[in-house]
Homo-oligomer: A and B are copies of this chain.
Amino acid sequence: MPANTITAFEPRKTPVQERAATTVQAIFEATIQVLFTHGADRLTTTRVADRAGVSVGTLYQYFPHKQALLYAVFEKHLDEVSERVEAACQQARGKPAAAMIKQVVEAYVDAKIERADASVALYRVAAGVGGAEVVRKTILRSGKAIGAMLGTAPDLESPPDKFAVEIMLAAISGGMQTVLRAGGSPAQLRKLKEHLVLLCQSYMATVTMSRR
């Protein structure tokens, strides 16, 4: 399966001078702007470079190929969501498990909704670009924070196993993605949030109950 063997998505070199750092930042922003104004299949390396005010050659000095660029932008987006989740995990320490889940899931959903446009656009391009790897990394990262948080719940004898937490995260991130792409109304998104909380709470309750 040659399409699965994707490994080299790291930036080609790291900026050491200040103008280079500026350049990379400009390329990042230009990518998102081109994505919005021209759409995914008119996102051209030349267009991104133009918009960033540099030449294509410069772009290729920092990103080995177009995929690496998109990968990096996608990664940045998911990192921002992860930070919000981790902050919620910190705040919810010591609360009852159901309240924990509520707070974390709501933080996740809110973060996604705030950046709904970017999220939809990025998922569209990320799939063909090694995005699955980023999603996996993000789930592991958030899963760790959630596991640690659940360890402080007074009403839980032992936290659920890692796998259950990861499935839960895969489920809500998948569900979220599907609904966002369908372009839900604000009312639908509110109901979605409420139901994702229910889904996670009931699943966690079941999983922690059936442990011995």
A residues at B contact (CB < 8 Å): 1-4, 35-42, 67, 117, 120-121, 123-128, 132, 135-136, 139, 163-164, 167-168, 170-179, 181-183, 188, 191-192, 195-196, 198-199, 201-203, 205-207
Q: State whether A199 touches B167 (Cβ < 8 A).
A: yes
Selected A-B contacts with CB under 8 Å, 15 pairs: A2-B37, A40-B128, A124-B127, A163-B191, A164-B195, A167-B192, A167-B199, A170-B174, A170-B179, A171-B175, A173-B178, A174-B175, A174-B178, A198-B206, A202-B202
Additional 17 contacts, C-beta under 8 A, given A4-B183, A132-B178? A1-B36, A1-B121, A2-B37, A2-B39, A41-B128, A124-B128, A136-B182, A164-B195, A167-B175, A167-B179, A171-B174, A171-B196, A174-B178, A198-B207, A199-B199, A199-B206, A202-B202
Residues of chain B within 8 A (CB-CB) of A1 are 36, 39, 117, 121
Interface of A is mostly: helix
Give the distance to chain B from A32, nearest Cβ to Cβ, in Å.
12
Q: Which residue of B lies closest to A210 (CB)?
A: B198
A1, A123, A188, A201: residue with the most chain B Cβ atoms closer than 10 Å:
A1
Distance of A177 Cα from B199 Cα, bound (Å): 18
CA gap between A113 and B102 in the complex, in Å: 32
B178-A139 in contact (CB<8A) = yes
Give every chain B residue within 8 A of A139 (Cβ-Cβ).
178
Q: Is B117 within 8 A of A123, CB to CB?
A: no
Candidate in A167, A171, A192 with the most chain B CB atoms within 10 angstroms: A171
Cα distance A63–B61 in the bound complex, in angstroms: 38
